[in-house]
Structure 1
């Protein structure tokens, strides 16, 4: 396929999404299944175009003077991926499968349009209804923070210190011919490895022998820092009560050096399904999986025994928009309200497990204050036996009234909020 045909494919995929509330990845997959002639390079570039169009949807529409898939795709090419206006126009000629060439108005926009006068939510490419939340979180920097959440994310890995170390992982991956450039250490997490994003290229990390051997796990640097802030140490009793697939369980187990015990639980037992295999591959021997039970509380025997209880709370995922840009446009106010209720339920489940003097960690991959410091304040209003603990994060971040906030603009990782609460009574 030529460049113009790939643009038209992206436009067609985006057009199907306008009236369908489903993940963009599903729409891309459906198109690929019905167009099997597309090669691997075509598929990768079409996917990048679709997600790029969604990353910069509002700023592209402002510049192009039109809010439709054609404008989004060309806006992503021009201002997201840095293609020249002449290149975009030329790609539409001599290709029967390309979109019609730019009109005079489109040509003028591609050549010289700016974001002068655009409101913050347009410059930051986030939903207008969230502008008040972004203003609370970031003030005058909200457009810049939103724009950073639209940029494609790197692939971050955590070297598993139970089996390897960061230098060995970097050396092993550096030999892979599938990488455009060699991996490097993350700037703040001591065991983090970063692989830069490359347009049209996806690194098949799961096929690497170093992964099969359990040398590393995929984990954003912000998530790694959240685990480090927990203070989990060898010999402790730790509960991860919103464990999901177990990414933070694995990170906490590595910090504990297989000494002490960590209990992994999730109210949705199906989410725990991959964890046994992941624990085995990583060489974790001090973890128990506590699936939910119908007849009794799976965590009852842990009450007041835990040194650390980790709550990776359900949230809107606004801090991960770099990885799933379509989710920001599908988010609705009622979903935010539902997540807030679920967060209070998670904290209520976790609190009784903390022993006196122990620590309750509250973490979200969100940048919205409603599910971060507001959620913690609401919990403290109902549970007098807990008090905030100051956190020291050796990385640029925002200090909140309670907890710390990492962002792509400040920290270079996903948007993570972390708060620590000590049980005082």
Structure 2
């Protein structure tokens, strides 16, 4: 397919997403199944256009004075793929699969409007109701933080030290452009690229099948490190999900001690079994019912709560969720988080640690949640995560934003990772 056909396909998918209010991954999958002639490069390019359009959907709409999928597709070409209107017109000329020409009124709007004149939430490409939450968290830096969440993300990997060190994985993936991560100690990064460039399918690599590495955002790796797990400890990963942090903890502990993986949603937990086998872990027990945790009450050295959240920190990877999020969704998540914290805290031994993590940058889910928990549970004290950060990653490392001088908020703007919140609490003896 030439660019015209790819752009037309992306516009079609954007229209499907808008009309049927469906996740972008589902819409792209259905398009691929109904267009089997499209090669992997075509599917990747179409996906890039769609995701790029959704990341900057609000500012694209304002500059083109239209939310039509056609306007969004053309805006991607102009603003994110670096093509001038004349260059794009020349590229599409004679391509019978190209989309309709950009209507004159949209072209005129794009030529005369300046983003600096747009409302702040448009410049930040976030829903307007979210702005007060960003301001409460980041103050005067909120717009920079919001804009960074609209950039393309890299592909991040974690070397599994139970089977291979990072240098070995880097050598195996040298042809894929792999390089050491800036912060994560076992992290590997493959840059996102621009325009139609596609990220490699690293899970097809033999080194992945051998268990040498896992796909994991660098921010997720960093907060797993900040748990400060030690060999021989008893650790409960209370909201383990697919097991990314469980695997990281097991490797940090050199397969010594025990990591207990539990999630109230058994469907989310299901992939962990195969991942544990591939990674060569021997110190993980998987629990599908909370009653199986009864003998751990008051005995765990560390309990990790990677709580269900709005996922605002992952908007680079899942931009469609940005436009579906509502105040009601936020309130539901805050309730679920409070419940998870209350239940998980029962398993912390005196002198042990409770770690609270979200992939959100909204204060109500983060420092607000911790403040509410501590008010109800005075036996838990908030301790400095900054100390652990400096010890693990060095004084010169990029420093995450700290809303209170103790907990941390990672973000694309501060640490070049997905957005994560991390708080460390200690149960008094």
The corresponding residue for 2:217 is 220
* 1:423 paired residue number: 427
2:115 is paired with a residue whose SS is: coil
Point out the more displaced range, 184-193 or 82-91.
82-91
Unaligned ranges ≥5, structure 2: 391-397
**The one of 188, 191, 194 aligned to 2:186:** 191
Partner of 1:404: 408
C-alpha RMSD of matched pairs (Å):
1.5
Aligned mates of 1:83, 1:316 — CA distance in 2: 34
Aligned to 1:235, the other structure's residue is in SS state: coil
Matches within 5 A, 1:248-287: 248-287=245-284
> Any idea what SS the aligned residue of 2:374 has?
helix
- After TM superposition, list the pairs within 5 Å mapping 1:153-164 onto structure 2: 153-164=153-164
Q: How far apart are residue 362 of structure 1 and its match?
A: 0.1
Whether contact under 8 Å (1:89, 1:102) holds in the other structure is no
Could you report, residue by residue, the CA deviation over 1:119-162 in whole angstroms, capped at 9, with x for unpaired residues? Answer: 22111111111011111112222222111111111011111111
Report which stretch shifted further, 54-63 or 36-45: 36-45
After the TM superposition, list the runs of 4 or more consecutive aligned residues in structure 1 that deviate by more than 3 angstroms: 103-113
Shift in Å at residue 113 of structure 1? 4.0
Shift of 1:33: 1.8
Aligned length: 417
Q: Aligned equivalents of 2:164 and 2:245: distance in 1?
A: 18
Q: CA contact under 8 A between 2:221 and 2:248: conserved in structure 1?
A: yes
Deviation at 1:257, TM superposition (A): 0.8
1:51 and 2:63 matched: no
| Secondary structure in 2 matching 1:188 | coil
1:297-376 to 2 correspondence within 5 Å?
Answer: 297-376=291-370
Q: What is residue 375 of structure 2 aligned with on the other side?
A: 381
User: How many Å apart are 1:106 and its aligned residue?
Assistant: 3.4
In the alignment, which residue of structure 1 is the partner of 2:393? Answer: none
- Which segments of 5 or more consecutive residues in structure 1 lack a partner in the other structure? none
Structure-1 separation of matches of 2:377 and 2:319: 36
Higher deviation after alignment, 140-149 or 242-251: 140-149
Query: Cα deviations across residues 322-362 of structure 1 (Å, max 9, x unaligned)?
Result: 11111101111111111111101110111010001100000
Partners of 1:208 and 1:58 lie apart in 2 by: 38
Matched-pair contact (CA < 8 Å) for 1:93–1:101: no
Q: Tell me, what secondary structure is at the counterpart of 2:32? A: helix
Match of 2:395 in 1: none
Between the aligned partners of 2:86 and 2:112, the Cα distance in structure 1 is: 12
Query: Contact 2:166/2:186 (CA < 8 Å) preserved in 1?
Result: yes
For 1:39 and 1:214, how far apart are their aligned partners in 2?
Answer: 28
Partner-residue secondary structure (3-state), 2:251? helix
CA distance in 2, matches of 1:277, 1:292: 19
Task: Pick the structure with more helix per residue.
Answer: 2
The structural deviation recorded for 1:170 is: 0.5
| Structure 2 residue matching 1:370: 3-state secondary structure | coil
TM-score, scaled to structure 2: 0.94
Partner of 1:211: 208
Residue 194 (structure 1) shift: 0.4
Equivalents in 1 of 2:166, 2:112: separation in Å? 45
- 2:240 is matched with which residue? 243
Shift of 1:19: 2.8
Residue matched to 1:143: 143
Using the TM superposition, give the Cα deviation of residue 108 of structure 1 relative to its aligned residue in structure 2, in angstroms: 4.0
**Distance of 2:139 and 2:284 partners within structure 1:** 42
Q: Which residue of 1 aligns with 2:89?
A: 89
SS of equivalent to 1:18? helix
Determine if contact 1:85/1:111 at 8 Å carries over to the other structure. no
